[in-house]
Structure 1
Amino acid sequence: MPPARRIQFLYTGGTIGMVPSPRGFEPGGDIHAHIQKIVHAQNTPAGLDLGFAQLREIVDSSNITPDHWQEIIDHLRAHRDGYDGFVVLHGTNTLAHSAAAVALALTGFDRPVVFTGSQIPFGMPGSDAVGNVIGALTAAAGGTSGVSLYFDNTLLSGTRATKISALDAHGFINPYTEQSDAPRHGRADPAPYRRHDVAVVTLAPGITAARFRAMTTPAPDAVILRAYGAGEGPSDEPELEQAIGDLVAAGTPVVVMSQCLHTRIDLTKYAAAQFLHRCGAIGAHDMSLEAVYAKLQFLLSQGIPADQIGTWLHTNMAGELTPDTASSLSTAVRAS
């Protein structure tokens, strides 16, 4: 008889274990008891030996930071030899951010890591917690490779998921049908995540250069500019090009993505995007906001110089870029 597959649940907090309190719903339910009850009552895969752990402090996922990402990563590495797979129970608000961050840091990790959560807590009417937990457990026990996210009967790549609903059970999607099978260039022994000041600025009709300067003063470590369409912005707005260019020239990378879920950034396609190309902004290709944010935090934590951020951002590290938009690392950067 083959040995039992050992799967560990890691509870970080979030809706799945929330209970009512005078302040509103907050983490605090007995997740371990819920998991044990599910395993005994549901049709779970046979031959499993389950473990359970939780972060030092469980939190609403709205309070997750890169420090928590690193705690998850450190835990997975420390327990790698003891388990065949892991299920990370996480709140939905930043679930996709955390999955992408862990995937970028664990490109050589040879155990399945499946993130999941729920829209409604365990034990409440209409809860989706049981189905998501069983699905994630089945995926982890089945040996699915890499970091993934399971939600509402769908298994998504950890670097390609984005949250689309806080109401519907189908809370996450991959906006792109294709999966990235381009060559990957992860870092074998990455430095730990540290918090970096990555500002997210959303363009809207009427935004001025003065407002952009105010929103990026003092200068952040990087800026994600959520533009329109394929990367267009208000090119006729006086001094906006100069404001963005000044920021880039001073060493702050400006990464342009779209407010659209399904697009690919091309800063040379439209005249209304070329001003961003001229001032040195970097297109985010087809990465989600969650992936771009996690990737910038990761690259900054590695001490990547500002003039190399674009090369690494355009390099497929953990499946976050589709094949036809992924660039290969230059020989110099690959060797570094």
Structure 2
Amino acid sequence: MKEPLTAPKAKKMKKTKDDKPHILLLTTGGTITMVHDEKAGSLGPARSSDELVRHFPEVKKIANITKKELFNIDSTNIQLEHWQKIARAICDNYDDYDGFVITHGTDTLAYTAAALSFMLQNLKKPVILTGSQMPLGEIGSDARNNFINSFIAATKDINEVAILFGEKIIRGARAKKISAFHLNAFESVNEKPIGEVGLVIKLFDHRRRACRKKLRLETNFNKNVFLLKMFPTISPRIFDKIIEMGYEGIVIEGFGAGNIPTNQNSILHGIERATAKNIPVVIGTQCLLGEVDLSLYEVGMKAAKIGAIPAFDMTLETTLCKLMYALGKSSELKEIRKIMKTDICGDIKIHS
């Protein structure tokens, strides 16, 4: 098992005469970077992060900004290595900046926010992700407000990974994209946002406090996790294929409170086969709100009895990323179960 890394001791950045905060902008692509190309007469990605900042001169009044282009891809193509690259960039520059802003496409923004929440532990600085529903080059785009407000948020007392989108500041491990149409595209699931955007930015008391420990970088994720959605006519044989393909963890999107089929198309045997091969099976829910309670109905109790792990009130994005994190820490089912039930970054709330 690889040991987590701590942030290197970096040379402190000299304060400028205006004493404004120093913010590192990390760009990764997405709709927010799309600008009008005069030569082509259409929208295209900004050629550089400098071009992006030129469209938002206001941010220079907020902070001293350094720009770093990590990659420029559609967020549907995001992979584990991209999450690791973002996390390492923050760790490598952690002592030099007061906060971080990451521009990102919206489709997988919640996955990236969840992954970074586990990769960047013991934060005492803001890591703000943002994007937009409309390209910067379109009239009425939400890109301007999201971009500028993210820099304001990056100067505030936020000590965790968060998404700023529209009027909300959402904990990274609680975010979910709920709309492909509305400008307030993200929701905080099973917890109110940690802040809101209005005439000013207002932060709420349940946000995480600055950690006294050193930043810990945890990028050793195991990506061999399969996400399986339940539906009425599902074939139990799907588990044979999942195991045959070499997956080392399974997240099930169950019905309601984590219920699964247990009659003619019962998947109980599949769960038993997986756990017998030391493959953890975590059950989440297809519902947007509420939590998994395997003790509520017989169908859930049967799953719990054979070793299924409840996801409690975690989002599916967070459950998936947390299982990747847990598998990177241990291959023992007992330890993985313990990690999945532990609150690491405000990701889970377990009632005693």
Q: TM-score, normalised by structure 2?
A: 0.83
Deviates more, 1:10-19 or 1:145-154: 10-19
Which of 184, 189, 202 aligns to 1:170? It is 184
Alignment length (residue pairs) = 319
Amino acid in the other structure paired with 1:291: T
Which of 20, 23, 29 aligns to 1:7? It is 23
Partners of 1:52 and 1:30 in 2: how far apart? 9
1:208 to partner: Cα distance: 2.1
1:25 to partner: Cα distance: 7.6
1:206 to partner: Cα distance: 1.2
Partners of 1:270 and 1:144 in 2: how far apart? 40
Q: Does 1:259 align with 2:279?
A: no
Partners of 2:113 and 2:347 in 1: how far apart? 11
- Mapped contact 1:7–1:86 kept (Cα < 8 A): yes
- Mapped contact 2:226–2:251 kept (Cα < 8 A): yes
Which of 182, 201, 204 aligns to 2:231? It is 204
Partners of 1:86 and 1:256 in 2: how far apart? 34
Partners of 1:69 and 1:217 in 2: how far apart? 27
- Mapped contact 1:16–1:120 kept (Cα < 8 A): yes
What is the match of residue 50 of structure 1? Answer: 65
Partners of 1:27 and 1:182 in 2: how far apart? 35
Local SS of the residue matching 1:88: strand
Amino acid in the other structure paired with 1:287: M
Which of 47, 50, 70 aligns to 1:32? It is 50
Local SS of the residue matching 1:257: strand
Partners of 1:72 and 1:182 in 2: how far apart? 21
- Mapped contact 1:255–1:282 kept (Cα < 8 A): yes
1:158 to partner: Cα distance: 1.0
1:2 to partner: Cα distance: 6.5
Local SS of the residue matching 1:229: coil
Q: CA 1:199–1:127 in structure 2 vs 1: closer, same or farther (change >3 Å)?
A: same
Amino acid in the other structure paired with 2:285: S
Local SS of the residue matching 1:290: helix
- Mapped contact 1:87–1:115 kept (Cα < 8 A): yes
Structure 1: which 5+ residue stretches go unaligned?
Answer: 328-336
Partners of 2:341 and 2:165 in 1: how far apart? 28
1:288 to partner: Cα distance: 0.4
The CA deviation string for residues 190-233 of structure 1, in whole angstroms up to 9 with x for no partner, is 54234521101101011121234334433411001001000111
Q: CA 1:326–1:269 in structure 2 vs 1: closer, same or farther (change >3 Å)?
A: closer
- Mapped contact 1:228–1:259 kept (Cα < 8 A): yes
Local SS of the residue matching 1:318: coil
Q: CA 1:132–1:182 in structure 2 vs 1: closer, same or farther (change >3 Å)?
A: closer
Q: Does 1:123 align with 2:137?
A: yes
Partners of 2:231 and 2:279 in 1: how far apart? 22
Partners of 1:299 and 1:310 in 2: how far apart? 9
Amino acid in the other structure paired with 2:232: P
Partners of 1:182 and 1:250 in 2: how far apart? 38
What is the RMSD of the two structures over their aligned residues, measured on CA atoms? 2.7
What is the match of residue 334 of structure 2? Answer: 307
Q: CA 1:115–1:191 in structure 2 vs 1: closer, same or farther (change >3 Å)?
A: closer
Partners of 1:19 and 1:46 in 2: how far apart? 22
The CA deviation string for residues 244-286 of structure 1, in whole angstroms up to 9 with x for no partner, is 1111111111110000010111111101212211221100000
Q: TM-score, normalised by structure 1?
A: 0.86
Local SS of the residue matching 1:50: strand
What is the match of residue 85 of structure 1? Answer: 99
What is the match of residue 18 of structure 1? Answer: 34
Q: CA 1:280–1:205 in structure 2 vs 1: closer, same or farther (change >3 Å)?
A: same
What is the match of residue 74 of structure 1? Answer: 88
- Mapped contact 1:13–1:59 kept (Cα < 8 A): yes
Q: Does 1:293 align with 2:320?
A: yes
Deviates more, 1:13-22 or 1:293-302: 13-22
The CA deviation string for residues 286-327 of structure 1, in whole angstroms up to 9 with x for no partner, is 0001111111111222235233111110100000013xx167
What is the match of residue 309 of structure 2? Answer: 282
What is the match of residue 123 of structure 2? Answer: 109
- Mapped contact 2:174–2:191 kept (Cα < 8 A): no
Amino acid in the other structure paired with 2:175: A
Local SS of the residue matching 2:158: coil
Q: CA 1:25–1:282 in structure 2 vs 1: closer, same or farther (change >3 Å)?
A: farther
1:142 to partner: Cα distance: 2.0
Q: CA 1:46–1:20 in structure 2 vs 1: closer, same or farther (change >3 Å)?
A: closer
Amino acid in the other structure paired with 1:6: H
Structure 2: which 5+ residue stretches go unaligned?
Answer: 1-16, 195-205
- Mapped contact 1:67–1:194 kept (Cα < 8 A): no
